[in-house]
Structure 1
Amino acid sequence: MKQFFASTIHKSLTVIALVLASFTAGFAQTTVKGVVTDARTHEAMAYVSVAFAGTSQGMSTDGQGHYSLTTNATDRKQIQVSFVGYRTVLRDIEVGKDQTINIALTEERNNLAEVLIKSGKKKKYTNKNNPAVELIRQVIAHKAQNQVENYNYAEYKQYEKMAFSLSNLSDKFRQRRVFKNYQFLFREQQDSTAIGGKTLLPLYMEEKLSSNYFRKAPYVKKQIIEANKQVKYDENFVDNQGLAAYFNRMYQDINIYDNNVSLLSNQLLSPIANNSPDFYKFFITDTLKDQSPKLIELSFTPRNTNNMLFEGKIYITMDGNYAVQGAFLTVNKNINLNFVRQMEASLSFEKNNDGRYHLSQSNLRIDFGLNKNKGGGIFGERLVTINDFVINTPRPKETYDGPAQVFVSNAEKKDDLYWTASRPVKLDSASAMVYKNIDSLQTIPSFRRTMDIATLVLAGYKNFGPFEVGPINTFYSFNPVEGFRGRLGGRTTTSLSTRYYFETYGAYGAKDQRFKYFLSSTYSLNNKSIYSFPQNYIRASFQHDTKIPGQELQFVQESNFFLSFKRGDNDIWLYNDIFRFDYVHEYLNHFSYAVGFKKWNQSPAGALLFQNLMPNGELNNVGLIHTTELSLQLRYAPHEKFYQGKLYRTPIPDKYPIFTLNYTQGIKGFFGGDYSYSNLVGNISKRFYLSQLGYTDITTEGGYLFGKVPFPLLDIHHANQTYALQLQSYNLMNFQEFVSDHYASIFIDHNFNGYIFNRVPLLKKLKLREVVSFKSLWGGVRDENNPAYDHSLLRFPNAGGGTYSLGSTPYMEGSVGIGNIFKLIRVDLVKRFTYLDHPGAPEWGVRTLVKFDF
């Protein structure tokens, strides 16, 4: 009996112990925390999905990549970490313990040029009854509700990082003698399969921290930049402001909900554009049930791999929103983008309080190179993170007033401690050192010599500290009037002063045996370089030189050696004495005005004669025309971007229009002026993007001159007798062939971006681009300004084919061309349609343009 009770008690205690163990185990808590980073860059990754494997219990990492998961369940034995464009990671965990597990995610390098679906019989891809296409149509139908613009108000904090490096550098390249003093610049080696290759040499970085505000009605989108940090090179060599503008134009924000996505000054059709099923193939490749909400992985690829299209994956929420939760975009190797070896863009979206989604992070990376497969190149990356997203909370009216982008007064003066505390993403060691490294680099004599040589070759100026000599392409030229023309000049630099600038040159013509010269003095009113935006200066100048009537060249100088070669007769010239006084004031919103005073004496040169008919019927030679003018120019170029070169601003094309209005008033009797007249000219130019059909540049201009003037003061239309293609001139019109006192013109230049050639098997591999253009000019000369009706006026010249006024028929010319030859050259076959009976008027011509495009 005793033994029986002992056995019973032992069994009871065992059962109780097991029950207690089970009970306590059931309440044992498992906690997993850590940081998720990029295995290549070692940067913390925000908004990465971390969940217990096989469940919907999870979270997203914060702005610093941190996560923390807790559970009482005993069947949670793994965590799953996933992010668009990266390989999913599974890690074992210990039940009932607190543990730290840091995860480094590796990029997923999928080549989605082709998606194979195996079945008993291969089916032809079709949109009809295709569940993937039905899904993308749902996404398209819900686009409006899933965009920020759907909210009445929105605001958020944004961090941007733009970085550029020399990429894919070999060990042999790094060990060259020329880099002996530059080893500190090289970034630590990364995974050799990573975009950009194994070795990078950082050259540029820019960071911004901003507060952003959106209002739906009236529409306002405003960015207040609270901190800005940029690698800066010596401004005698580089326009840092223009460099930043150029990079930001290349790497614009990617809004996948737009029908077209801007990339490298091109537009690529979005995979969720309204007509995307006509250009893309879609495939459902995965269902992610362990996410909350459930996601559908939708892969897509272009129907034509040469077109301006993406390929990749998008992740669609199945919660009724049909929103994009993430996207991984790349381009096919056959795409007609110049110099692009690889492109990757990853987008991540976060759920708002109302259940909809906003972009939380984007990362665009592009590797450029002359050779698609090997050799060094340039790697560029733009990372954007968005946090503290608030919806439908209006701010005071003054928050939305003013320019679209505003820098706080001390934005560029924030110290390293501020940036370390404020960056949502930690920089790797090489990126953190790039600012200091580039400053150190510019103190090395060999680097400064290299920059000096590059400036001489590219900009044409040789720097001597406070003064630079150039441009070298004007040192020698020739023309029928001057014969051989030698010229030497230069200007001061910011090393002498940021307020005072002086420019001069002297020239001599061997044939006419005359000296020419130019002097100017400029005073900057805002204590900034006159070559930086916004400009605010006064300038006085005097020029004694030759000029082709009506030629106002924008981006080159007439004495440029390469413009010495011209077709036809080119002996109609002027000798000019021009004194100018100008005041220029630009504003941050890209509105500007310029007020000018001009005293101009012009006399004929070469075959040009100034003659009028006397009452007795004899011709009278007039040796000199005196004019005195006051002028006003108003210009508005919203969102304009440009690179400020040594001579001119090089515009960075965009979709925004440019408006210009010029008014000139000639005053008789003022400083010796002989004529009283008014001239009003308006100009509008704009680029229109047409998605897969390329883009069209359109310029319209009109002018009206009030008053009675001789022909040199009429509007002399821009002609081109060189063999270079000039987009803003009439390429088959002769110099001074047409004059007007009222006119209207239109220039149309359309680039198909290879849309047609990409469909021709033998041509698509050459990546050529087809272009067409058309130019037309309407106008005329009123009787009061026509010497045929008023003999006191100067007669129209007969030299060089003669000068004419336009009749009822407009002047017209058009061209068809092939662009992107060797990625640089455009060749046009130009045809002139009207006024072919004029002496020396060419009907056909071939013109060439060297143009750098992506």
Structure 2
Amino acid sequence: MKQLPLISFFIGLFSILNLLLSSDALAQATVVSGTVRDAVTKETLPNVSVFFKDTKIGTQTDVNGNYNISSAEPQSGLSFNSVGYTIASKNIMPSATQQTDVLLVPSSNSLDEVIIVGGKRIKYRNKDNPAVELIRQVIAHKDENRIKSYQTVAYQQYEKMLFSVSNVSEKFKNKKMFRNYQFLFQEQDSTLIGGKNLLPIYIQESLSDKFLSKEPEKSKTVIVAQKQVQFDSRYIDNKGMKTYFDRMYQDIDIYKNNISVISNDFLSPIADGAPAFYKFFITDTLKNQKPQIIELSFTPRNTGDMLFEGKIYVTNDGKYAITGASFGVNKNINLNFVRALKIDLSFEPNAAGKYNLSKSKLLTDFGIGKTKGVGFTGERTVTFKKYQFDAPLPDTVFQGKSTSVLGDAGKKDDLFWKKNRLDTISASELKIYGNIDTLQNLPSFKRTMQIVTLLFAGYQNLGPYEIGPVNTFYSFNNVEGLRLRLGGRTTPELSKRYYFENYAAYGFKDEKWKFFLSATYSINNKSIYEFPQNYIRASFQRDTKIPGQELQFVQEDNFLLSFKRGVNDMLLYNDFYRLDYVKEYENHFSYTLGFKKWSQTPAGGLFYQNDANQFVNRLTTSELSLQLRYAPNEKFYQGKIYRVPITDRYPVFNFKYTAGLKGLLGGEYNYHNIMGSIDKRFYLSQLGYSDVTIEGGYIAGKVPFPLLDIHRANQTYAYQLNSYNLMNFLEFVSDHYASINIDHNFNGFFFNKIPLLKKLKLREVVSFKALYGGLRDENNPALTSSLYRLPDYEDGSKRTYALGNDPYMEGSVGVGNIFKLLRVDLVKRFNYLNHPEVSEWGIRARVKFDF
């Protein structure tokens, strides 16, 4: 079955489970928020423990003294506890959402002397602020305190990742279907996450040897042992899940300027520019330690930005090293689906007196709602031991890939793990490996997985064959009218060596059948979707196509793309005979050798007319092609029969050469087509990120306009990232061109500072696209005979153009994260506005899930 990207899968799983739990949660949830202050000074109090009475459900106040606590069960009271203050109790309304502010009274032995100072509240300033001076010293000493200050480093790393369904109510837990499976549940005991019960569903462990070199800069990871829960591969690909979680839960290096967490870049509290974005406060000095440790609290200047809040601990010995850190995010942060996030870092001194990371723990709780309903909790703990500094490392250590896996890494027995784990693991956590097999056999769990997979992946599994995708079963256009389609493909349950795919479609207006058949042979006996690919594929397709429209990961007969603007009656009937060989290497370089025989027939308002005013019914070409692709450090969400690249900061290079061969199997033209592109995401810290694509192409040879570069246009109402959204189909053709596409997401940087918009957690997006190109005289029908005339509209007005001296340009400003899934852009076309049937402005929408 086609696997769906993990974020869509878990959003769907949340939705289904929320429906199951909604009657209980809505009827019984107790949600309380408020502020805790000192009863004497009226100052807000951070780190106060807040618990529902007689439960282990608790939280802590943030640096501003605010708290938020919830329970899926009715609760009647709260207790507040902080060192130096008398414990306070408050009665609350059960099964209600309410606000309760509290004043804590200092304990008697702390009330010997109270000094109350009146006057205006002092405005926070960086100037003459000892906390800011301290953090500047920490920043200045970063290079000498981080692990990369050594010439070589070797150490062992143990990683444990645990995921659970959270906030499960007692009533749901005791439902009839779970009556015999109570052992699956664990009691939730966290000061960050509300709720009563956890249902652990996933665990993975790994043990690695790590090696670093400063000059030259190299790194090597050797995975010695690894294990993980194995899900039913019909719904979830286990390797793809591990890759996706590894991307979301990357290593936490506080010494970096930016820390990547759940696919977002957060500014580190000790980044070079941190004082401009954070407020810092000295909150304690631990004098009973040597060296003395200063507790430094920090909070965002703007609570909606991608920033942390919490505490770091710094040595007061002139070295200003980090000895520990505990931080999370503000509840107002512009971050989707995250109910809570907590990071704890522990450092230990080595023989040289420097501090190196000994343990890192990242805990997150996800959910559709902020407090109510079922959630999803992820916890990653990494332990570092057996450090060796400046020891000679032979060059052979760094040979091969930067990450390698020992052949028997996945075969280690329980005794090995018991002896070699660098950290403890509870008995309940170990039970997860066996418990998941039981969970997957629950009829209710199977039904939930089937529903989620069908809704978000669009395929219905029938064992060795699956039917879909469902969003292509029905569509319509001006030429075919109502179009019905049915098809599917084989799964690895039939064969891991052979794969087949097919569909049949029928248009009720043109009364024509369309179909597709393909057969693929895996040369390396792996799934053809598994990295690295190595396969050969033969296929035949008879179907329609809009000239110049190329969609990524979306079928052209997708129902939602049936709705188009303007005149869109141009279509091609195509017969494609293809033979392709694909070879990928471990370093993410790949090449594709291909042969294609293409016969195309114009339809609708599209005509092929030569210079003798004769209509040409069919154009046939035969092509050989070579495509090269290099994507260093690329990762995929990789399913059994589905693979999607995970966008990261590394560039992707593409090069394609195509040769048209006249006389080969009916080919009518000789030509050479060269295309190259570079895609790169640039992370700009608090200013968000930019996706940039630079592309260019050149066609050598004399060819009619259907064989030129028909620039990607979009006449649908969906915003397409790689198309020109206000360009008409077949409006521009070129035999040489260069283009740039910039799409920038500010991640709410400006909206977060506007009070009314801040609560909506909207995000600003801007884009700019420019295309420069043209036609040489030999390919311009107005200047050269024996070429097809460029298409016209029915009224005789010109329809297709060559670009002039000015590039085609369009841009957009948009609002993203509407309801956490919708982006709407106002698009403006800057030039070539005198062409018929064009619009200067347009509104386009795009569905996108983001954290």
TM-score tier (shorter)? 0.7 to 0.9
Contact 1:86–1:106 at 8 Å: present in 2 too? no
Match of 1:725, SS?
coil
Pick aligned residue for 2:346 from 345, 348, 351? 348
Contact 1:555–1:648 at 8 Å: present in 2 too? no
Alignment of 1:376-415 (within 5 A): 376-415=374-413
Percent of matched pairs sharing the same residue:
63
Distance 1:304 1:114, change over 3 A: farther
Q: What's the offset of the Cα at 1:143?
A: 0.4
Q: What's the offset of the Cα at 1:460?
A: 1.1
1:111 aligns with 2:62: yes
Q: Distance in 1 between matches of 2:563 and 2:57?
A: 57
Aligned residue in 2 for 1:575: 573
Kindly tell me the number of residue pairs found equivalent between the two proteins.
Answer: 748
Once the two structures are overlaid, the 10-residue window that deviates more, 650-659 or 732-741, is: 650-659
Deviations 1:422-468 (A, max 9, x none): 21222222221112222333344553343233222111111111111
Aligned residue in 2 for 1:77: none
Q: What's the offset of the Cα at 1:364?
A: 0.4
Distance 1:830 1:505, change over 3 A: same
Contact 1:241–1:532 at 8 Å: present in 2 too? no
Match of 2:431, SS?
helix
Match of 1:753, SS?
coil
Match of 2:60, SS?
coil
Q: What's the offset of the Cα at 1:587?
A: 2.4
Q: Distance in 2 between matches of 1:633 and 1:777?
A: 23
1:819 aligns with 2:816: yes
Q: Distance in 2 between matches of 1:380 and 1:144?
A: 31
- 1:589 is matched by which residue type in structure 2? N
Q: What's the offset of the Cα at 1:508?
A: 0.9
Q: Distance in 1 between matches of 2:179 and 2:676?
A: 56
Pick aligned residue for 1:283 from 261, 272, 281? 281
Distance 1:605 1:178, change over 3 A: farther
Aligned residue in 2 for 1:73: none
Pick aligned residue for 1:693 from 687, 692, 697? 687
Q: What's the offset of the Cα at 1:784?
A: 1.1
Aligned residue in 2 for 1:134: 133
Aligned residue in 1 for 2:106: none
Contact 2:153–2:387 at 8 Å: present in 1 too? yes
Pick aligned residue for 1:751 from 731, 745, 748? 745
Match of 1:611, SS?
coil
Deviations 1:38-92 (A, max 9, x none): xxxxxxxxxxxxxxxxxxxxxxxxxxxxxxxxxxxxxxxxxxxxxxx999xxxxx
Match of 1:378, SS?
strand
Q: Cα RMSD (Å) of the superposition? A: 2.1
Q: Distance in 2 between matches of 1:745 and 1:795?
A: 26
- 2:849 is matched by which residue type in structure 1? F
- 1:845 is matched by which residue type in structure 2? G
Q: Distance in 2 between matches of 1:588 and 1:315?
A: 42
- 2:830 is matched by which residue type in structure 1? F
Contact 2:692–2:740 at 8 Å: present in 1 too? yes
Match of 1:417, SS?
helix
1:165 aligns with 2:159: no
Aligned residue in 1 for 2:253: 255
Q: What's the offset of the Cα at 1:404?
A: 1.4
Aligned residue in 1 for 2:21: none
Aligned residue in 1 for 2:88: none
1:830 aligns with 2:827: yes
Q: What's the offset of the Cα at 1:194?
A: 4.8
1:795 aligns with 2:792: no
Contact 2:248–2:263 at 8 Å: present in 1 too? yes
Contact 1:700–1:746 at 8 Å: present in 2 too? yes
Distance 1:825 1:213, change over 3 A: same
Q: Distance in 1 between matches of 2:192 and 2:412?
A: 33
1:778 aligns with 2:776: no
Aligned residue in 1 for 2:722: 728
Q: Distance in 2 between matches of 1:648 and 1:568?
A: 35
Once the two structures are overlaid, the 10-residue window that deviates more, 543-552 or 437-446, is: 437-446
Q: Distance in 1 between matches of 2:116 and 2:393?
A: 56
Distance 1:154 1:392, change over 3 A: same
Match of 1:455, SS?
helix
Once the two structures are overlaid, the 10-residue window that deviates more, 632-641 or 835-844, is: 632-641
Q: Distance in 1 between matches of 2:428 and 2:356?
A: 31
- 1:221 is matched by which residue type in structure 2? S
Distance 1:716 1:652, change over 3 A: same
Aligned residue in 1 for 2:711: 717
Once the two structures are overlaid, the 10-residue window that deviates more, 117-126 or 844-853, is: 117-126
- 2:161 is matched by which residue type in structure 1? M
Contact 1:242–1:641 at 8 Å: present in 2 too? no
TM-score of the aligned structures, taking structure 1 as reference length: 0.85
Q: Distance in 2 between matches of 1:129 and 1:720?
A: 57
Match of 1:341, SS?
strand
Q: What's the offset of the Cα at 1:790?
A: 1.5
- Provide runs of 4+ in structure 1 moved above 6 Å: 105-108, 115-118
Q: Which structure has the larger Rg over C-alpha atoms? A: 1
Pick aligned residue for 1:761 from 745, 755, 758? 755
Q: What's the offset of the Cα at 1:184?
A: 3.5
Pick aligned residue for 2:619 from 608, 619, 625? 625
Distance 1:367 1:690, change over 3 A: same
Aligned residue in 1 for 2:328: 330
Q: Distance in 2 between matches of 1:751 and 1:261?
A: 18
Query: Which is bigger in relative contact order (C-alpha 8 A, separation at least 6)?
Result: 2
Q: Distance in 2 between matches of 1:651 and 1:335?
A: 27
- 1:697 is matched by which residue type in structure 2? D
Distance 1:840 1:313, change over 3 A: same
Distance 1:522 1:515, change over 3 A: same
Q: Distance in 2 between matches of 1:373 and 1:108?
A: 13
Pick aligned residue for 2:489 from 491, 506, 509? 491
Distance 1:740 1:648, change over 3 A: farther
Aligned residue in 1 for 2:227: 229
Q: Distance in 2 between matches of 1:124 and 1:444?
A: 59
Q: What's the offset of the Cα at 1:375?
A: 2.1
Q: Distance in 1 between matches of 2:673 and 2:630?
A: 20
Q: Distance in 2 between matches of 1:718 and 1:728?
A: 8
Q: Which runs of 5+ in 1 are unaligned?
A: 1-84, 88-104
Aligned residue in 2 for 1:295: 293
Aligned residue in 2 for 1:840: 837
Q: Distance in 1 between matches of 2:620 and 2:725?
A: 31
Q: What's the offset of the Cα at 1:385?
A: 0.7
Alignment of 1:75-474 (within 5 A): 109-113=60-64, 119-121=117-119, 122-180=121-179, 182-187=181-186, 189-191=187-189, 193-195=191-193, 197-474=195-472
Aligned residue in 1 for 2:537: 539
Q: Distance in 1 between matches of 2:243 and 2:301?
A: 34
Aligned residue in 2 for 1:68: none
Pick aligned residue for 2:500 from 486, 499, 502? 502
Q: Distance in 2 between matches of 1:143 and 1:192?
A: 33
Q: Distance in 1 between matches of 2:437 and 2:297?
A: 45
Q: What's the offset of the Cα at 1:282?
A: 1.1
Match of 1:145, SS?
helix
Deviations 1:462-507 (A, max 9, x none): 1111111111111111111111111110111111111111111111
Q: What's the offset of the Cα at 1:192?
A: 6.1
Contact 1:572–1:799 at 8 Å: present in 2 too? no
- 2:816 is matched by which residue type in structure 1? G
Contact 1:500–1:523 at 8 Å: present in 2 too? yes
Contact 2:168–2:374 at 8 Å: present in 1 too? yes
Aligned residue in 2 for 1:849: 846
Distance 1:379 1:260, change over 3 A: same
Distance 1:260 1:755, change over 3 A: same
Match of 2:252, SS?
coil
Pick aligned residue for 1:658 from 641, 649, 652? 652
Q: Distance in 2 between matches of 1:591 and 1:557?
A: 27
Q: What's the offset of the Cα at 1:177?
A: 3.8
Alignment of 1:550-629 (within 5 A): 550-614=548-612, 619-629=613-623
Match of 1:248, SS?
helix
